[in-house]
Amino acid sequence: MNLREFSCACYNSILFFFVLQVRELRFLDWNSMSFTVNSGQCLGLSGQSGSGKTLLLRAIADLDLNHGEVSIRDKKRSSFSGPNWRKKIGYLPAESKWWHSLVGQHFDNTENFSPEDFGFSNASIIESEVDKLSSGEKQRLALARLLSGLPEVLLLDEPTANLDPHNTNLVEGLVNDYRNKHGAAVIWVAHNESQLVRVSQTRLLMKNKSLLSYEN
């Protein structure tokens, strides 16, 4: 292998390794933030209520006004249309959104959805009325809807907040399996420190309108 081939191989490896790259991202009056999330890695994000965790996720997803550069595998956000960017970036809000009466109407593709994997014994859950679901059922179905689109990045805002211990473990396992299988980058927001120890490989802390390493 000559030097040029070696350089290209190394460059391609780096692009694959760094799935999500955030550079000098700013929103409102928060300080600029820069970090990367690697292929198959989960970054745990903690901080007090109101510290800006949700604002950061929404800025990455380009749902609110922000400035800076965000890239997926070295492709800048500005090169995507809004809808295509949000297909690459899977954002799961703390309160899942439902705009049709039936569950199945919210899925573009049900081929990647197995009800049993998400703890549903009844395969017809996809035909259920949204208004008749519990908050925990909505939470799991919102994750199923998100993963069915095969995003490269998962932005998870308190994804197990409404779940009992059994389903919390279920969701943790599903996300872990997904990121390992697809090489996805994950940002997991939680107040539960013990959960972040379980699910994440690296940690960041939101404090004083800044993003800090967890050790700080």
d(CA 49, CA 58): 16
Does 25 reside within a domain? no
**Assigned token pair, 181:** 């299988």
- Say which CATH number the domain at 183 has: 3.40.50.300
Does 76 reside within a domain? no
pLDDT tens for 199-213 read 999 999 999 999 998
pLDDT tens for 133-180 read 889 888 998 999 999 899 999 999 999 998 999 999 999 999 999 999
Can you give the pLDDT at residue 105? 86
Does 12 reside within a domain? no
Can you give the pLDDT at residue 34? 95
Does 191 reside within a domain? yes
pLDDT tens for 43-69 read 999 999 999 999 999 999 999 999 999
Does 79 reside within a domain? no
Q: How many domains, in total, are found in the chain?
A: 1
d(CA 160, CA 52): 19
Does 61 reside within a domain? no
Does 27 reside within a domain? no
d(CA 87, CA 61): 10
Model pTM score: 0.88
Does 13 reside within a domain? no
3-state secondary structure of 172: helix
Domain membership of residue 204 as a residue range: 35-56+86-213
Residue 162: how many CB atoms within 10 A of its CB?
A: 18
